[in-house]
Structure 1
Amino acid sequence: MSSTIKKLAYVHLNSKNPQETARFFEDLFDWETTEGENGQIYVAVDKYHHRITIYQNDEPGLRAAGWQVLNKRDFLKTQKVLDEAGVSYHVGTEAECEERKVREFISFIDPSGNTAEVCYAPYVTRPNCQSIGSLDILDLLHVTLSVTAAEFKANLQFYEEVLEFNVSDLFNKRIAFTRCSQNHHNLAMVTSEEPGRRFRHFMFEVRTFDDVMKTLMKAKKLNIPVEGPSKHGNCQTVHVYMPIPGMGKGLIEIGWNHKKILDDENWEVVCYDFEGEKLAEFIDVWKAPEVQKEKISSK
């Protein structure tokens, strides 16, 4: 089973204060920001026109996750898959495509109420540039969403059976890590009843551990709250988290050493079935359980 979708192309963020959010990315990572025609702010981190778009909204959160197919054939196949599943979608107009800096896109609402977009041919404006700013960025790797217990099963079924994301592993039937690439996860969903928190974090993968530590040190220098460095037990990612100003409880994760799954056919999907200290230790293998217990809900 292989999804037509191959990567996470971009994230659209709703921020109470887009200028403050943009300054955060500029100050901490030295990423480039530009303003669009409709007041949105683009954040560039690598060869693509942008990876983050910030919109003003009094309800902060994820406006949309933008997924990418590699060619027109797979773009059309994705539409056919949605048609066969009875999922309605919007085909982007020429102006909407230009706003997103892509050749074509469609958008739809997943069973948890989150907006997903699938694009084809994103604009590349720096063909010889691997990354911009102070970090050696490899890719925009994943996004993590909150869903209610009532939504979890249907949402997982949609991404696994309709869009054909592979499940990497599960936690207690309430957390799922799914992928559309060789990365351990590109989309994670966490069961939570916390009001107003549908978006948890998105993650950029960096080339070296030094990049993680540079982020940590600069965040401390700028008096930006930072959690980590820490290491996850399932994906082996060494990372730090920072809250994004204007985004409520939304976080950005900078991570290194993310596990790659090179053989889908022989990857064993498991459901980790433990709670308490064992779960705390697995979420962060570097911290003592009594320290990490209070941190779990913040991811």
Structure 2
Amino acid sequence: MRIASLGYLRIDSTDLDAWRTFGAQVLGLAPGRPPRGTGEENLYFRLDELSARIVVQPSDRDGLACAGWELSGPAALAEAVDRLKHHGVELTTGTEAELAERRVQEMVRFSDPFGNVLELFCGATYERTPALTPYGNRFVTGEQGLGHLVVPVADDTAGLAFYRDVLGFRVRDSMRLDGELVGQPAGSTVWLRFLGCNPRHHSLALAPIPAPSGCVHIMLEVDRLDDVGRALERVRRRGAHLSATLGRHMNDDMVSFYVRSPAGFDVEYGWGGLQVDDDTWTARESTAVSAWGHDFAG
């Protein structure tokens, strides 16, 4: 199986107005439009030429609903379906209504061993008009996809086995943690795993920590450092919760800060992320989260 990139995120929300403000006035996302005849109740945000990268849907809960992972086409999706069935994964095929609302040609849905919902899709629509972000910021997407996603896994060993051995993600980096920090027995070790599927250092990370929202954080990357600074100013002006100060990560070199979203998970907003070539890359173990900064205040 060869997943190409993180294609879209669907987010459950009890307060769409909060997301309307946060998405546009804090993150600088471009407004999208609903598909013809469906989805009028949702919020659609664009980062690039795709019709929607982030969809916020009304719900009685706040959190990540699912992550959509893009494949190169129908043949790749069919191969992925065969592989998932071989490993005993239960699949649901997207209905015509779901395909129309997501603006994709084909889609299947399933859950990982911990209940995190994934959708594999191909054939997303793109727009003839550019994504007009409100502050002129440009997001780094293309073959690297939307950004990255960190999901909670109750068992780091089982999580790695599923995402690496079944879904085909490649291990790019790891970091060991004291198990006691996440409720494991004294003296035990748990692992943060950073996994890639394209040149972005990691498109997915597995965190052995609880996250009621179903997501630890997502990352959006812009192509100018100044746009990180401007976004940080908007966080302060809008009174959003700054979860971590400006810093540079050790593993992917990203200069970023973290801000709390209305869904309860954090959004990392960064610049300068590392790109890797799997033919020459050697998986490593980082010994700290950041080279400097990133004071996580909670």
Name the one with the larger helix percent.
1
Contact 1:45 1:133 in 2 (8 A): no
Contact 1:112 1:152 in 2 (8 A): no
Question: What's the counterpart of residue 13 of structure 1?
Answer: 11
Question: Against the structure 1 CA distance between its residues 261 and 130, is the aligned structure 2 distance closer, same or farther, given a 3 Å change threshold?
Answer: farther
The residue correspondences of 1:134-213 to structure 2 (distance < 5 A) are: 134=135, 135-139=137-141, 140-148=146-154, 151-172=155-176, 173-193=190-210, 196-213=212-229
> Which secondary structure state, in structure 2, belongs to the residue aligned with residue 76 of structure 1?
helix
Aligned equivalents of 1:19, 1:119: Cα separation in 2: 29
**What's the offset of the Cα at 1:219?**
1.9
**What's the offset of the Cα at 1:131?**
5.8
Contact 1:15 1:61 in 2 (8 A): yes
Contact 1:47 1:131 in 2 (8 A): no
**What's the offset of the Cα at 1:57?**
2.4
Q: Where do 5+ consecutive residues of structure 1 fail to align?
A: 273-278
| TM, length-normalised to structure 1 | 0.86
Question: What's the counterpart of residue 134 of structure 2?
Answer: 133
Aligned equivalents of 1:175, 1:252: Cα separation in 2: 18
After superposition, the C-alpha distances for 1:136-194 in whole angstroms (9 at most, x for unaligned) are 1112111111222xx32212111100111001111114211001111110011111146
Q: 2:266 aligns with which of 251, 254, 272?
A: 251
> Which secondary structure state, in structure 2, belongs to the residue aligned with residue 49 of structure 1?
coil
Aligned equivalents of 1:131, 1:255: Cα separation in 2: 19
Contact 1:7 1:180 in 2 (8 A): yes
Contact 1:212 1:229 in 2 (8 A): no
Aligned equivalents of 1:44, 1:124: Cα separation in 2: 10
> Which secondary structure state, in structure 1, belongs to the residue aligned with residue 44 of structure 2?
strand
Question: What's the counterpart of residue 24 of structure 1?
Answer: 22
Question: Against the structure 1 CA distance between its residues 65 and 265, is the aligned structure 2 distance closer, same or farther, given a 3 Å change threshold?
Answer: same
Contact 1:204 1:253 in 2 (8 A): yes
Contact 1:147 1:198 in 2 (8 A): no
Q: 1:221 aligns with which of 237, 255, 263?
A: 237
CA RMSD of aligned residues (A): 2.0
Aligned equivalents of 1:67, 1:20: Cα separation in 2: 26
Contact 1:130 1:137 in 2 (8 A): no
Q: Where do 5+ consecutive residues of structure 2 fail to align?
A: 177-189
Contact 1:230 1:284 in 2 (8 A): yes
The one-letter amino acid paired with 1:146 is P
Aligned equivalents of 2:210, 2:225: Cα separation in 1: 34
| TM, length-normalised to structure 2 | 0.86
> Which secondary structure state, in structure 1, belongs to the residue aligned with residue 66 of structure 2?
strand
Question: Against the structure 1 CA distance between its residues 30 and 100, is the aligned structure 2 distance closer, same or farther, given a 3 Å change threshold?
Answer: closer
The one-letter amino acid paired with 2:159 is N
After superposition, the C-alpha distances for 1:31-67 in whole angstroms (9 at most, x for unaligned) are 2154553622211222111111112223321100000
Aligned equivalents of 1:215, 1:76: Cα separation in 2: 40
